């Protein structure tokens, strides 16, 4: 890996970086090195360099949907996050870097009187991470306003792909299997009056403050399990939190991991918590729902390594 060329391009390389420092659960051990990229060009360079050197790597965004093993990863981490939003506007169309944070994108939409992004307010991830997992809230998902993406595949080939080819489904896309990385995304929006958009954003942020832990002070990865597909044994009910609450999850704790008091589908990490504690608690929660309702919950949080 040509380290000097990467550093010259603005990629920050941290040897032996500890992944707990870059995840909202604040859990996880070291990786070989973390390559922090902000722009699509930096991400392509980092990935190409690792590929050319035959080095194993994972791509992460804000680390807000991850549970990383306490032992860490014998791999490099490419971290693609930009604290400064990278957004170009052309009428009602936006091109946004995959590294832009969702909440910053939602705020930009309000400020520019462009409707369709308000539901992303307060979700602590990047545009790239959200597209990979088709993140959503309040009945909306990120696939909806998306026209297309610019991807780089594991072999280093870049291409523009229309959203219709990404096989979006509930909290999933083809990117979860293909290993393709979202460099940038194009959203087609519509005009909306600023006072209405601002009020909707405020309403959503207030709901989040009321129902969710503040990830800045309380380590968590948000909803731990996916909601239930309507075809499953669960019948018409779909919220994983409802089944967990009925199964007594709110009283559960393993080591430093506990279920959040206001939401049975959220695990929070108290001081001293390990990724193994979270994994063990999630298994207990799954077993409690299986005993009571006869089906298995599926994690929404992605595991890196074996916690």
Ligand X SMILES: Cc1cc2nc3c(=O)[nH]c(=O)nc-3n(C[C@H](O)[C@H](O)[C@H](O)COP(=O)(O)OP(=O)(O)OC[C@H]3O[C@@H](n4cnc5c(N)ncnc54)[C@H](O)[C@@H]3O)c2cc1C
**Dihedral angle of Cα 173, 176, 182, 186, to the nearest 10 degrees:** 10
Q: Which of 64, 223, 258, 282 is catalytic?
A: 223
Stretch that binds ligand X, among 55-63, 155-163, 252-260, 268-276 (CB under 6 A): 55-63
C-alpha 37/C-alpha 81 separation (Å) is 7
227 vs 293, beta carbon nearer ligand X: 227
C-alpha 253/C-alpha 275 separation (Å) is 13
Q: Which two tokens stand for residue 276?
A: 């193994």
* Strand pairing category for 181-188 and 93-97: antiparallel
Q: Which two tokens stand for residue 261?
A: 């008091």
Stretch that binds ligand X, among 48-56, 105-113, 124-132, 248-256 (CB under 6 A): 124-132
45 vs 62, beta carbon nearer ligand X: 62
Grouping H, G, I as helix, E, B as strand and the rest as coil, residue 155 is coil
Q: Does 181 bind ligand X (CB under 6 A)?
A: yes
Whether 150 is catalytic: no
Q: Does 132 bind ligand X (CB under 6 A)?
A: yes
Grouping H, G, I as helix, E, B as strand and the rest as coil, residue 79 is strand
Q: Does 100 bind ligand X (CB under 6 A)?
A: no
Stretch that binds ligand X, among 26-34, 60-68, 84-92, 290-298 (CB under 6 A): 60-68
C-alpha 233/C-alpha 71 separation (Å) is 36
Stretch that binds ligand X, among 26-34, 119-127, 234-242, 283-291 (CB under 6 A): 119-127
Enumerate residues 6+ apart whose C-beta is below 8 A from 231: none
Q: Does 86 bind ligand X (CB under 6 A)?
A: no
Please work out the total of residues on this chain that contact ligand X, with binding judged by CB under 6 A: 32
Whether 300 is catalytic: yes
**Dihedral angle of Cα 17, 18, 21, 27, to the nearest 10 degrees:** 160
- Applying CB under 6 A, which of residues 6, 11, 19, 24 lies at the interface with ligand X? 24
Q: Does 252 bind ligand X (CB under 6 A)?
A: no
Grouping H, G, I as helix, E, B as strand and the rest as coil, residue 54 is coil
**Can you give the binding site for ligand X, defined by CB under 6 A?**
24, 59-66, 80, 98, 123-126, 128-130, 132-133, 135-137, 175, 181-182, 212, 215, 220-222, 302
Catalytic positions, written as ranges: 171, 223, 300
């Amino acid at each position: 890996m040509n380290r000097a060329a990467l550093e010259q391009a603005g990629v920050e390389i941290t040897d032996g970086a500890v992944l707990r420092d870059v995840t909202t659960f604040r859990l996880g051990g070291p990786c070989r090195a973390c390559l922090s990229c902000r722009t699509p060009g930096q991400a392509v360079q980092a990935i190409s360099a690792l590929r050319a050197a035959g080095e194993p790597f994972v791509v992460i965004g804000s680390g807000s949907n991850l549970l990383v093993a306490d032992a860490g990863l014998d791999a490099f981490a490419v971290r693609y996050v930009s604290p400064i939003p990278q957004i170009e506007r052309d009428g009602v169309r936006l091109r946004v870097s995959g590294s832009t944070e969702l909440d910053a994108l939602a705020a930009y939409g309000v400020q520019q009187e462009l409707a369709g992004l308000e539901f992303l307010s307060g979700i602590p991830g990047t545009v790239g991470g959200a597209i990979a997992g088709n993140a959503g809230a309040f009945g909306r998902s990120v696939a909806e306003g998306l026209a297309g993406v610019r991807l780089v595949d594991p072999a280093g080939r870049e291409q523009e792909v229309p959203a219709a080819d990404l096989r979006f489904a509930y909290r999933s896309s083809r990117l979860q299997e293909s290993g393709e990385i979202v460099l940038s995304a194009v959203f087609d929006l519509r005009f909306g009056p600023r006072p209405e958009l601002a009020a909707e954003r405020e309403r959503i942020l207030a709901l989040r403050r009321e129902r969710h832990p503040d990830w800045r002070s309380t380590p968590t990865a948000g909803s731990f399990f996916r909601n239930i597909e309507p075809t499953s044994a669960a019948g018409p009910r779909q919220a994983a939190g409802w089944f967990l609450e009925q199964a007594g999850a709110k009283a559960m704790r393993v080591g430093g991991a506990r279920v959040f008091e206001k939401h049975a589908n959220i695990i929070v990490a108290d001081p001293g918590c390990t990724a193994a504690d979270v994994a063990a608690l999630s298994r207990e929660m799954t077993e409690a729902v299986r005993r009571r309702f006869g089906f298995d919950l599926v994690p929404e949080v992605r595991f890196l390594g074996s916690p």
